[in-house]
């Protein structure tokens, strides 16, 4: 079993409700959804956070956002709108140290978040 939860899900070793199984990216439903659509979009390769992923600069971050948009369309929330969130570090509320985009939609969202 890998140390990293999302490496384990990406490898199919830890169960998840997968909505997209791509070459470089996997997406699955959040186990504790905060909105009618709450999907985590994750690169298969381990990068600790979005800043580290951006620094790699091989197009993977672009692909991650593009994939989130495709999932939003598949979930029927592209027109009503959605939120993409990357929590980063302790004060950012990051609890899993493998970069993941939260794709949230299906209800109006307040700003600022609590």
* 100 lines the binding site for Zn ion (CB under 5 A): no
46 is catalytic: no
Q: Which listed range, 18-26, 50-58, 76-84, 90-98, lies at the site for ligand AMP (CB under 6 A)?
A: 90-98
What sign does the CA torsion over 63, 56, 28, 14 have?
A: positive
Q: How far is the CB of 28 from ligand AMP (least distance, A)?
A: 6
Task: Identify which of 58, 65, 60, 48 has the alpha carbon closest to the alpha carbon of residue 99.
Answer: 48
In the complex, the smallest distance separating the C-beta of residue 113 from ligand AMP, rounded to whole angstroms, is 12
Select the residue interacting with Zn ion from 24, 29, 44, 46 (CB under 5 A): 46
90 binds ligand AMP (CB under 6 A): no
Question: Exposed (0-12), middle (13-18) or buried (19+): which is 10, by Cβ within 10 Å?
Answer: buried
Q: Which two tokens stand for residue 61?
A: 């971050």
């Amino acid at each position: 079993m890998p140390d990293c939860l999302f490496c384990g899900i990406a490898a199919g070793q830890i169960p998840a409700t997968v909505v997209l199984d791509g070459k470089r990216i996997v997406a699955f439903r959040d186990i504790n959804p905060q909105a009618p659509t709450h999907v985590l979009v994750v690169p298969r390769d381990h990068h600790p956070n979005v800043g580290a992923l951006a620094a790699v600069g091989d197009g993977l971050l672009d692909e991650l956002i593009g994939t989130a948009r495709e999932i939003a369309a598949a979930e029927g929330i592209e027109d009503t709108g959605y939120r993409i969130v990357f929590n980063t570090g302790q004060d950012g509320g990051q609890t899993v140290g493998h970069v993941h985009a939260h794709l949230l939609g299906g209800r109006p969202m307040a700003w600022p978040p609590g």
